[in-house]
Amino acid sequence: MRMNGAQAVLESLKKEGVDLVFGYPGGVVLKLYDEIYKMKFPNILTGHEQGAVHAADGYARATGKVGVVIATSGPGAANLVTGIATANMDSVPLVCITGQVANHAIGKDSFQEVDVCGITTPITKHNYLVKNVNDVPRVIKEAFFIARTGRKAPVSIDIAADVFNAEIDFNYPDKINLRGYTDKNIGDEKSIDEIVTAVENCERPLIFIGGGVISSETSEDVREILNRLGCPSTSTLMGLGCIEPERAGYLGFAGMHGSYGANMAIQNCDLLLAIGMRFSDRVTGRVADFAPNAKIVHFEIDPAEVNKNIQVDYKVVGDLKWSLPLFKNKLNASKINFAEKFSAWKNQAVDEGKKHPFSFKSEGDVIKPGALISKISDLCDENTIAVTDVGQHQMWAAQFFKTKAPRQFLTSGGLGTMGFGLPAAMGAKLACPEKKVVLFTGDGSIMMNIQELATIADHDIDVKVVIVHNFILGMVGQWQRLFYSHHYSASELNLKRDFIKIAEAMGVRGYRLTKAEELETKLPEILNSQGAAVIDVYVPQDENVIPMVPGGKRLDQMVLN
Amino acid sequence: MEKYLLAVLVDNKPGVLTHVSGLISRRAFNIESISAGYTEEPSVTRINIVVSVESENELDQVVNQLGKLIDVIKIVNLSKVPSIARELVMIKVKASKEARADLVSVVDIFRAQIVDVTSENVIIELTGNQQKIDAICEVLSDYEIVEIARTGAIALSRGPVPVKKM
Ligand SMILES: Cc1ncc(C[n+]2csc(CCOP(=O)(O)OP(=O)(O)O)c2C)c(N)n1
């Protein structure tokens, strides 16, 4: 079919099953937006390109589909950078389409020109500059393929403005021809046999899962493996939801602010089965002393992750969708009654954890963050998606919100991007309209993309925005309290801002909770009401997130109070 | 520090060199030299990288990270198979009348060539392995070197099997 480049972009998106894009117009994408208008292609206009890219990210995290964002050249593209880096760190599939100045203007420091490929090279899996309209269908096909296969990640496509106007005989390719890339990530089955033997010969195994289990959709396999082994288990922040919180032997998440029980189990186990996680420095404590008594097994799709941060004893390189079912079957075929064999160790790990569970002290009628989040967790059904921003509230949400299923705890783990929360929650709600979406944010973080309150109001996107309002950049304050002699340098927020007024001005209802009893008298009704709401909850300024593994310490050297 | 010569076959597409060099700098790999050129296949560029690493593990990291680049087709560590490596250097040296005879004998000893002569200087060209190139640079440092251009090492495996089939 004969069409212009802009139509070709949209037709290609349709072929990829894209039903919604997040985007912001500008000079070089005017033609593209004209076709969006004519085709009635669903586009959510956000308040800021950063909002658009985090929204696409939230959409992708909530569904597993590829999130799509569109921005104009120069400042529009540059505004995507934080969001692309955020998605890249957490292996979230995105396709980011930016307009570039026209071919003849490239390289001349033209108006609104930035080198998008240069800027995005370190933060994408791959990127393209499209200068010829005939490349549009192939490039879009490849971009989606690359983004959603293997280790998922963002791909950016920069399209010269004149390409949108050029004519093309549109044919969407049905084959991909990439010599250096395949979506087949099948490893060596023998490597799995070795792990089975290692499990048969160990006394104290621990399963440690990460976000890779979510992106490969293998949490069912993990649960079945746990059924068979009956050993203790833990997760990274990114893996929350894969293991049911009530499962016997589940110790909560591990790491810097993870549970005492999980961190101790890592240090005490003799076989650590790390599955779809990358030994981030937030999770290892001092690397040299990580899991000192254990042989370490790494199930991982990305060969470059193996032995990157932690030297492992066994590796199973390949898609978890390939390795975990095999591992499960091979375990099932073993003669050993694992559950019986590991039950004493499981009980020991659980009992150890009970010494210092996640907790908070109630004090008079102030609202403690832990109490707030526990209450919300109780009030939400099992399908609720919790989204967080970054800071103390993020860790409290991870500790006290009981995430029941994968894709229901959305957080910026690898990059720790303040401002991620509100747009990501918006994207998640648009992706899953039938699910309740609750955002936990801070009085610092919310300011970093607060313009999106207007977007959720304009599009009637029902997100409950819970501001854990502690009048400080709390996580910064915590470090200053513990390590910088209480010098609250540039962290206090005893300011005049009024989040209810801001919410109302943008078209969202606003509520304020200041007393503990209001968690009973007011919160349930607000949370269960229809439509977006900002819930501004005053909490004390000087609460610490506990436990904490201070930088450079071993996982068992936690600060506990 | 050990040095290894990697032959990296990549798609001959715009942006490839950005991807490769961007990766090297982002991951803070130690690169001794890098050179790129066309091959027997028009769609393929061959990048020759000499990397210096502390350990085998670090070498694996380099190879695995490079391998993740979509436009990288194949990576072979030519230091691990029988292979021949060569580098080309051109050295411009001040050549006064008195020094000229000495320079010619240095050139002869190294089986190098003088490829340009002016009244003030000569350009010496030499092909060889890295030690040989280093050696001539060392010897010539007794004279007044004006400038040096080196290609970095390139290599082929011995025997009939090309890198793309390894
Ligand atoms: C974009 C960005 N800038 C700075 C930081 C550093 N940082 C991490 S947590 C934090 C404080 C967050 O404050 P707030 O959102 O109020 O959450 P709280 O810790 O009080 O719960 C800061 C400044 C960051 N993570 N992201």
Query: A87-123 pLDDT, tens per residue?
Result: 999 999 999 999 999 999 999 999 999 999 999 999 9
Beta strands of chain B (E only): which ranges?
A: 2-11, 31-38, 44-53, 72-77, 83-94, 113-117, 121-128, 145-150, 154-157
- Position B97 scores a pLDDT of 87
Record: contact A117-B11, CB cut-off 8 A: no
Token output for A131: 């200068």
Q: What's the mean pLDDT in A496-517?
A: 97
B26-41: pLDDT as tens digits? 898 999 999 999 999 9
Q: Is the CB of A475 under 6 A from ligand 1?
A: yes
Q: What's the mean pLDDT in A522-532?
A: 98
**Integer CA distances (angstroms), A228 to A225, A251, A328, in order:** 5, 17, 8
Question: Ligand 1 centroid to A391 CA: how many Å?
Answer: 5
Mean pLDDT of chain A: 98
The model's confidence at residue B25, banded by pLDDT at 50, 70 and 90, is confident
Query: What percent of chain A shows pLDDT beyond 70?
Result: 100
A451-493: pLDDT as tens digits? 999 999 999 999 999 999 999 999 999 999 999 999 999 999 9
Per CB-CB distance under 8 Å, the chain B contacts of A126 are: 19, 69-71
CB atoms within 10 A of CB A83: 36
SS3 breakdown of chain A: % helix, strand, coil, rounded to 5? 40, 15, 40
Q: Kind of pairing, strands A167-169 and A2-4?
A: antiparallel
A95 and chain B in contact, CB less than 8 A? no
A113-131: pLDDT as tens digits? 999 999 999 999 999 999 9
Record: contact A178-B70, CB cut-off 8 A: yes
Q: Which helix (H) or strand (E) holds A181?
A: none
CA gap A402, A382 in Å, rounded: 9
Residue A495: pLDDT over 90: no
The model's confidence at residue B88, banded by pLDDT at 50, 70 and 90, is very high
CA gap A448, A467 in Å, rounded: 13
- Position A474 scores a pLDDT of 98
Record: contact B60-A307, CB cut-off 8 A: yes
Q: How far is A389 from chain B (nearest CA, A)?
A: 27
Q: What's the mean pLDDT in A168-180?
A: 96
Beta strands of A354-403 (E only): which ranges?
A: 385-388
**Long-range contacts, stretch A249-256, CB < 8 angstroms, 24+ apart:** A249/A346, A249/A349, A249/A350, A251/A349, A251/A350, A251/A353, A252/A353, A252/A358, A252/A399, A253/A398, A253/A399, A254/A208, A254/A283, A254/A555, A255/A280, A255/A282, A255/A283, A255/A549, A256/A282, A256/A283, A256/A285, A256/A548, A256/A549
The model's confidence at residue B49, banded by pLDDT at 50, 70 and 90, is very high
Per CB-CB distance under 8 Å, the chain B contacts of A287 are: none
A383-426: pLDDT as tens digits? 999 999 999 999 999 999 999 999 999 999 999 999 999 999 99
Note whether A455 and A477 are within 8 A (CB): no
B21 and chain A in contact, CB less than 8 A? no
CB atoms within 10 A of CB A542: 13
B96-153: pLDDT as tens digits? 888 899 999 999 999 999 999 999 999 999 999 999 999 999 999 999 999 999 999 9
Q: Best mutation site among B9, B70, B71 for testing chain A: the one with the most A CBs within 10 Å?
A: B70
DSSP state of A152: -
Amino acid making up residue A469: H
> The dihedral of CA A256, A259, A264, A267: what is its sign?
negative
Token output for A174: 């049905």
> The dihedral of CA A185, A186, A190, A195: what is its sign?
positive
Torsion of CA A515, A520, A523, A524, to 10 degrees: 180
The model's confidence at residue A549, banded by pLDDT at 50, 70 and 90, is very high
Record: contact B68-A127, CB cut-off 8 A: no
